Amino acid sequence: MTPLPIAREAQVAIRSAAESWLAQDPDPTTRAELEALLAAAGEVCAPGEQLAETDAGDRAAAWRELRDRFTARLSFGTAGLRGRQAAGPNRMNRVTVAQAARGLADYLLAQAETTGERPSIAIGYDARINSDVYARDTAELMQAAGVDATLLPRPLPTPVLAFAVRFLDASAGVMVTASHNPKWDNGYKVYLGGADAGSQIVPPADTAIAAAIDRVAQRRRVPDLPRSEDYAIAPESLVDAYVRETAAVFGGGTDGLAPLRVAYTPLHGVGHETFSRVLEACGIPLPAAVPSQVRPDGGFPTVDFPNPEEPGALDLAYATAAEADADLILAHDPDADRLAVAARSGADAEGRPTWRLFGGNEIGRMLGWRAAKAAAAAGAQGSLATSLVSSPALSRVAERYGLGYAETQTGFKWISRAPGILYGYEEALGYLVNPGTVRDKDGVSAALAILELAYAQAAEGRTLIDLDDAFADEFGAFESRQVALRYADPAELPRVMAGLREAAPAAVGTVPVAEFTDFETTEQPANILRLRLADGTRIMIRPSGTEPKIKVYIDANSAEGTAEERRASAAGRADAAAAAMRALLGG
């Protein structure tokens, strides 16, 4: 993005906002960091002068950094807050967290006026830098405001907090985590209890909470907000209950388990302790954990980005798996709400093991098939759910087993609310396998469900790769591709989307477009476009919410020939559509 000039008048306003911030920041680290940035920026320009857009000096860079931090505010939406940790309203820090906590408290108190009952909140946190600090700040501010606060006893996975909202019958929940974001980020995720059953917030709650936070930020200083240390610490029985109810997911039995060697990494996150306890409760042997990644560490010393989808993130897991002669690799992201799975596929010319890393859609459909079989065995009714941009393979499973099927907007805040949900997933490695316990994606219970499938396959001398082939035989082969097109100017994103709406393409490559859908015009509007091609390929187009990118999700399927032939046919269509969309959108 081209740097813009900063006039003297803007500098005066920015410096004033920064000095006001310093006066209320309780954190010596961010105060010192902001003071250093102000010193680097130096004095404001003389009257009538400005910092030129061509100025590449350190002083101009400091002023641009200050402008970015102090002329916008970190927005609170349906994912709560998430951003880089540093001083200023457009960053994550103790001031923005305090304002969010008090604003959320005000919202809960206003909601409670209709019931006359004192509201309550459960608060969890992961092992990221400052997560514990933000969680304690939230507990103190909530308790003093009149909201009974219960803090989880130590850093724990996000699904444990989602469970706690229901277990404690709390009005709401807060989880301090940035999930799989880079190490310098943190976040603040909000859940609602009662009729929302511990799901993440959706409109209009997010808008009302954001307005309450803004009122706090505009009218109150953080040092003046009352605090109380009389909040409760959740009993260990809460974690025990999560372990017990999650262990019940494993339906395969443990007598005479087939040999299955497993390697595991929590990617420096909080998954290992809880996952190990669940495995022990099931009588399942503990996996070989990656030694350097098993302890929680918010510095993430061995990975640049602690996301199991990122290239290189699982390198140490592959090395540990090779040493342990493992058949399967499981990986959680740092707050253990997502799961990555890799199965041993053979060996290379030098005898080293090779691996197939499954995509989210592949694991999602296998777990969906498992859920449908379980429902059929129990004579249960309900629905399978996934997001609009995930593979439509689940619809075939639901149809075959006489179950409902729901496609929701992206995010588990929507998936978890699908009517009669039995199981839900989204392609970004998120799976909800136990909605009676947790109404959010849960990497711990998903790992247990995958182990159930893997052990059942091992008993027959097969692997999850064979199970995926069996899915292709049963329901057809589905192949997914993603295309991400980056634009230098973020303003290009709405122009591209508007252009597609005004003149929908008649064909993608050589394949005619059979149907065009604009989800902005649906009952739950979303900035997503869908193309269905004449050969059955589905293409979803949406702008990224965090980067200047247009994201394209392509799903093709085939039900003709052998599993291998079906997969090859579907892959050919998906690859052709991906190439055509890059050309169409200028990528």
Q: Per-residue pLDDT tens for 21-37?
A: 999 999 999 999 999 99
Question: Stretch 479-493: mean pLDDT, rounded?
Answer: 88
Question: Stretch 344-369: mean pLDDT, rounded?
Answer: 95
pLDDT score at 3: 54
- What is the gyration radius of the CA atoms in the chain, in angstroms? 25
Domain 476-585 has CATH 3.30.70: no
Which pair of structure tokens corresponds to residue 14? Answer: 């920015």
Q: Is the pLDDT of residue 587 over 80?
A: no
pLDDT score at 272: 98
Q: Is the pLDDT of residue 46 over 90?
A: no
Q: Is the pLDDT of residue 199 over 60?
A: yes
What is the residue extent of each domain of the chain?
6-70, 81-234, 237-359+429-474, 476-585
391 catalytic, yes or no? no
pLDDT score at 1: 45
Q: Per-residue pLDDT tens for 277-326?
A: 999 999 999 999 999 999 999 999 999 889 999 999 999 999 999 999 99
pTM of this structure = 0.93
CA–CA distance, 183 with 348 (Å, rounded to integer): 34
Quick one: pLDDT band at residue 47, thresholds 50, 70, 90?
confident
Domains 81-234 and 237-359+429-474 share a fold: yes
pLDDT score at 114: 86
Q: Per-residue pLDDT tens for 217-231?
A: 999 999 999 999 999
CA–CA distance, 271 with 265 (Å, rounded to integer): 9
Question: Stretch 445-474: mean pLDDT, rounded?
Answer: 96
Quick one: pLDDT band at residue 258, thresholds 50, 70, 90?
confident
Q: Per-residue pLDDT tens for 494-522?
A: 999 999 999 999 999 999 999 999 999 88
- Look over the chain and give the mean of its residue pLDDT values, rounded to a whole number: 94
CA dist 370 to 171, 339, 434, 563, Å? Answer: 33, 17, 12, 19
Question: Stretch 212-220: mean pLDDT, rounded?
Answer: 96
pLDDT score at 122: 98
CATH superfamily of 237-359+429-474: Alpha-D-Glucose-1,6-Bisphosphate, subunit A, domain 3 (3.40.120.10)
171-186 burial: b if 16+ Cβ within 10 Å, else e: bbbbbbbbbbbebebb
Q: Which of 120, 171, 179, 445 is catalytic?
A: 179
Q: Is the pLDDT of residue 16 over 90?
A: yes
CB 323 within 8 A of CB 332: no
| Rounded (5°) CA angle 235-240-245 | 135
CA–CA distance, 407 with 424 (Å, rounded to integer): 10
CA–CA distance, 450 with 456 (Å, rounded to integer): 10
Fold of 81-234: Alpha-D-Glucose-1,6-Bisphosphate; Chain A, domain 3 (3.40.120)
Question: Stretch 461-468: mean pLDDT, rounded?
Answer: 96
Q: Per-residue pLDDT tens for 137-186?
A: 999 999 999 999 999 999 999 999 999 999 999 999 999 999 998 999 99
Question: Stretch 251-271: mean pLDDT, rounded?
Answer: 89
pLDDT score at 4: 60
| Count of other CB atoms within 10 angstroms of residue 346 | 9
Q: Per-residue pLDDT tens for 127-139?
A: 999 999 999 999 9
- Using DSSP bridges, classify how beta strands 529-533 and 421-426 pair: parallel, antiparallel or unpaired: unpaired
Q: Is the pLDDT of residue 48 over 90?
A: no
DSSP 475-543: H-EEEEEEEEEE-SSTTHHHHHHHHHHHS--SEETTEEEEEEEEGGGSSS--S-EEEEETTS-EEEEEE
The helices-and-strands tally (H runs, E runs) of the chain is: 17, 24
pLDDT score at 522: 85
pLDDT score at 546: 64
